[in-house]
Amino acid sequence: MQGPQANDCPVPADDALIAAQYSPLPCHDVLVVELPYAWTGQTLPQILVVPARGETLSDGFTLWWERAVDSFAVAGEGQVFGRRGTLNTALDATEFLYAEGGLDVTFTSPDDDLEDMPFDEGVGTRRFLVFIGDEILLGWEPTLVSAGRYTVNVLRSQLGTTRGQHDVGAECWCVQLGELPLLEWSPPKDAASVGLKVQPRLLHREVSLADVAKITHAIQRRSLRPLGPANLSANGDGAHPTYGTGQNVVLDWTLTSEARAGSDPEVDLECRADACVLELWAGAVLKATLTVNREGPHTLTNAALVAVLGSETDFTVRAYLALGGYRSLDFDSISVTKV
């Protein structure tokens, strides 16, 4: 039999050989997001789970939930991984919804690359998702700056979320979708919190479940809560309102909605709230909580203000919308100055 020649091509390693040579590592980190109503279209809690690989070879993962103390059951399986990083520049809560090159992120996970994705795909079909705090953004056309660092065009305040203040160093997740679906899981309806484990795998080899850290997620019932109000004003001033001696303060706000047509962030279709909750603060002290009609205006009489605040003084109002007693997670606020 003739031996191998110098120019023979090497035989690719088969799956069994790859599995024998490489073992998956525990996740670098795991994104656990309770999805808003605009994503789910229902009021029952739904949780999105996206891990960042501990290496670059894992091809799937199993989600386990703690049904009893230290007793775990399979909740689902997934194959979509994300990139976890931190912001190099801040995203301000008052910036424009469209921010070209507005996201500057350096990835800390071993997966530190992004695929090119045009607007029609990243935004039009919602295949480039960005998660920062409670805000969900849509991205397109990432640009490589240096190894593991990208700038990304983003559309902010998507899927029933509002623009937040995200400072330098804030955690940021980028998830680019192909043909595989994201892993979403419905926790028990009466659960106040759930314990989760994400177990990566490479072919048929898995990280030992004992080596996987447990994640405890508190259920916020986010999909039941409406979006907070916008454009809060006092005495017709939404920037620097004042009131004088003996004067009432008239508060007003705009109703908002999570239901938006396509990717147009300006089209509000409905408001699910049945009440508005107003908090009155003096400094860092909560002085009063009022539940009022969901639609403004609402008048704070001077006598009521003095009774609550102790005197005519500066104060801050926080306004939430509520549904069935569940407040919005976000709120609008304004400070009123006594002159």
Over residues 164-202, the pLDDT tens digits come to: 899 999 999 999 999 999 999 999 988 999 999 999 999
- Contacting residues for 165 by C-beta, under 8 A, at least 6 apart: 90, 91, 92, 93
Residue with tokens 């350096």: 106
**Alpha carbon separation from 322 to 159, 230, 235, 275, 309 (Å, rounded):** 18, 14, 23, 5, 24
- Order of strands, edge to edge, in the sheet holding 249-254? 230-234, 249-254, 298-300
Confirm if 315 and 206 have CB atoms less than 8 A apart: no
**pLDDT recorded at residue 269:** 60
Q: Which parts of the chain fold into alpha helices (H)?
A: 15-21, 37-40, 119, 302-309
Residue 2 has pLDDT above 50, yes or no: no
Distance CA 191, CA 292 (A): 30
Residue with tokens 């005197």: 311
What are the structure tokens assigned to 62, written together? 């199993």
Maximum mean pLDDT: which of 9-23, 115-129, 153-167: 115-129
**pLDDT recorded at residue 259:** 60
Confirm if 57 and 238 have CB atoms less than 8 A apart: no
Q: What percent of the chain lies above the pLDDT cut of 90?
A: 74
Q: What are phi and psi of 191, to 5 degrees?
A: -75, 135
Confirm if 175 and 131 have CB atoms less than 8 A apart: yes
What are the structure tokens assigned to 277, written together? 């909750």
Q: What percent of the chain lies above the pLDDT cut of 70?
A: 91
What pLDDT digit, counting tens, does each position of 26-66 carry? 999 999 999 998 898 888 999 999 999 999 999 999 999 99
Q: Which SS3 state, helix, strand or coil, does residue 288 take?
A: strand
Distance CA 219, CA 196 (A): 12
Confirm if 172 and 135 have CB atoms less than 8 A apart: no
Asked if residue 297 has a cis previous peptide bond (ω within 30° of 0), the answer is: yes
What pLDDT digit, counting tens, does each position of 253-294 carry? 999 877 653 445 444 467 889 999 999 999 899 999 999 999
Q: What are phi and psi of 300, to 5 degrees?
A: -95, 110
> Rounded to the nearest 5 degrees, what angle is found at the Cα of 100, between the Cα atoms of 34 and 146?
90
Residue 162: exposure state from Cβ atoms within 10 A (0-12, 13-18, ≥19): buried
Confirm if 288 and 280 have CB atoms less than 8 A apart: yes
Distance CA 88, CA 80 (A): 25
Distance CA 257, CA 135 (A): 15
